[in-house]
Chain A
Amino acid sequence: MPILPLARGLEASTDPPVDDKPQAARRRWGFNKGGPSRRGSASALQSRAAWVLALPFMLLFAVFTAGPVISSLYFSVTDIKSRDLRSPFAVAFVGLQNYAHVFADDRFRQAAFNTAYFVVIGVPLTLGIALAAALALNTGITKFRTMFRVGYYTPVVTSIVAVAVVWRFLLREDVGLVNTVLHWVGVQGPDWLGSTTWAMPSLIVMASWRNFGTGMIIFLAGLQSVPVMLHEAAAIDGASSWQRFRYITVPLLRPTILFLTVTTGIGYLQFFEEPFVMTAGGPLDSTVSMSMFTYQQFGFGNYGFASATSYVLFVIIVCLTAVQFRFLRSNT
């Protein structure tokens, strides 16, 4: 079949993406006179192969991801408790009662407020640091660039639990490194984690410290796609570096900024380890997050109620994801 390569080359440029190209080519060039039946069996074979390949994933996915997502919704409209563990389907349907209780619960409202606080301050702070680091590494820094990049990214790969254990010590009032450094510049630092005012900002700063590396890497990739020509042209026209940042870099980075805002926001909405390890939600519930609230309700055995709280979080996350997909689609 000497002409096959040529045929393949031809149709690659004319056809929309087709997966069984040799089949298509053979058809066009008159091979396989018994076309339809042969083609049918080939694509059936391919279909079967695909399902064999997908089967382990689909089974595990159905049992351990799709199933729980649906049963979580089901649990949230029942009064299931830990004593129903062995008979999860023999429970009473209570409609939206769990949701009504969730929204009426003062502690949940506090948790929702704390979570909003964490997200609304934490996301811009994290992305601001990420963008600043990316700009610095992209423009002025030539020596030790890799060292800085790797160093800034390091906290991202480490366990939040381990990091939280270390920071709990760093933030101690008397012997903590943070207050020691502040003392050098003449500031008397507070008992960070023991204060209702400072506990949450401390967690936010720690989360930003740990997570800005991801944003920095993605911003760096985004910055590399900003054409240097634009900057040159603007510089020739006398634009200052701030103006070039504001009117060239930022608009071109907009999709990246949106993407990072959504993904970081989704991550921060679920913050859990930080208060679990550092403050146990205190002082006076000032750092209880929605995730922690859910986990505690689960611990009390209120499975239905816990599922309702987690579904509230889920709906918020789904909305954020939808916003992102919609925006990305209109952009590409």
Chain B
Amino acid sequence: MLDIKRSAASKWLLYTVVTLGFVAVVTPFVWMILGSFKGQGELLRVPPTWWPETATLDNYRSLFSEESFLRYFFNSTVVAVVITVANVTFCSMVGYALAKLKFRGKKLVFGLVMGTLMVPGMVTFVPLFVLVANLGLVDTYPGLILPFLVTPFGVFLMRQFIIDLPDDLLDAGRIDGAGELRIFRQIILPLCGPGLATLGILTFLGSWNNFLWPLVVAQTQDHYTLPVALALFSQNQQVIPNYGVLLAGATVVVVPVLIVFLIFQRRFIEGIATTGIK
């Protein structure tokens, strides 16, 4: 055994520090949720209250009726679901080809994937906007979705996952006369569950939280996603912000993701630890 006999005192100290850190990390979220049920008067009181004295749903009411956040919620969901389904499908296809098949141009494809893993959206958004504008897709769902249907990251993740699957399975399929596409569909895909789940969760999350591109391409309220709507709403509130509605808006953006995360936290954390890239 490791020869670290911690004294009771040092153990207490460690737990205290770790707990304080935990409180510091979690408090903003708790405070956001509690604050979303407070009226403006209570939110601006000095010193601030913790638990809402008079809990109200007014913030959510005005968020969903006056600010049409239901629409933005719908937009965010549609965009994220389509992007996730496409990434899971297309990236696993290429991932399989790169992991298990021999073909002309394989090195080129893999090089392109690796070379663009780190290309920031900031570099491509100006020409992308010009392209999307010429396709007539500004302020449309396809405009929001098309640029993210595949990601080099997704391909990389699926390749890493599939490359570890035993070749014997493929050989068995080939001997039985199955074509490569059928092997992919009937042998590889069913074994990719964990990899697909990790990719799906990370893609959904990335799309849900994505900001720059929707900000550029969604130009009317019809196609705002939640982060865009929240940021612009917050910007228009510079003088006397309506904090209750802002906190309710932040809650609506964050809480669905928190729920997904808490359900799948093990998968999330394993995904991060194995790929090393978020």
Contact = CB atoms under 8 A, between A and B. Distances in A.
Interface string A7-25: 0100010000001111000
B9 interface: no
Given A154-B261, A157-B261, A136 B18 contact: yes
A251 interface: no
B127 to A, nearest CB: 4
A250 interface: no
Given A156-B278, A157-B205, A310-B123, A8 B211 contact: no
B116 to A, nearest CB: 6
A107 interface: no
Contact of B273 (A49, A74, A86, A217): A217
Contacts of A306: 126
Interface stretch (B19-27, B54-62, B63-71, B190-198): B19-27
B43 interface: yes
A166 B234 CA distance: 10
B239 to A, nearest CB: 13
A314 B48 contact: no
A3 interface: no
A151 B22 contact: yes
Given A56-B150, A158-B257, A72 B127 contact: yes
Contacts of B112: 61, 66
Interface in A278-308: 280, 291, 294-295, 298, 303, 306-307
Contacts of B134: 85-86, 88
A162 to B, nearest CB: 4
Contact of B120 (A80, A159, A314): A314
Nearest to A161: B227
A159 B227 contact: yes
A210 to B, nearest CB: 9
A307 B127 contact: yes
A32 interface: no
Contact of A159 (B97, B216, B254): B254
B127 A160 contact: no
A131 to B, nearest CB: 13
Interface residues of B, number: 109
A307 B97 CA distance: 34
A104 B269 CA distance: 45
A117 interface: no
Report whether over half of chain B's contact residues are helix, strand or loop; otherwise say mixed. helix
Contacts of A257: none
Highest count of chain A CB atoms <10 Å: which of B17, B27, B105, B119? B119
Contacts of A259: 276
B262 to A, nearest CB: 7
A85 B129 CA distance: 9
A50 B123 contact: no
Interface in A36-91: 43, 45-47, 49-54, 56-58, 60-61, 63-69, 71-72, 74-75, 80, 85-86, 88
B119 A57 contact: no
Contacts of A58: 94, 109
B31 A166 contact: yes
Nearest to B208: A159
A109 to B, nearest CB: 18
B174 A303 contact: no
A53 B47 contact: no
A180 interface: yes
Given A50-B97, A140-B14, A273-B231, A160 B243 contact: no
The 8 closest A-B pairs by CB, nearest first: A49-B180, A50-B103, A68-B124, A71-B127, A47-B103, A162-B250, A50-B97, A162-B253
10 contacts: A12-B167, A57-B91, A57-B155, A68-B131, A141-B14, A160-B211, A177-B48, A295-B122, A313-B122, A318-B118
Interface of A: 1, 4, 8, 12, 19-22, 43, 45-47, 49-54, 56-58, 60-61, 63-69, 71-72, 74-75, 80, 85-86, 88, 133, 136-137, 139-141, 143, 147-163, 165-170, 174-177, 180, 183, 209, 214, 217-218, 220-221, 228, 231-232, 235-236, 241, 259, 263, 266, 269-270, 272-273, 276-277, 280, 291, 294-295, 298, 303, 306-307, 310-311, 313-314, 317-318, 321
Given A166-B31, A310-B122, 6 more contacts: A60-B90, A148-B22, A151-B22, A161-B234, A162-B32, A272-B211
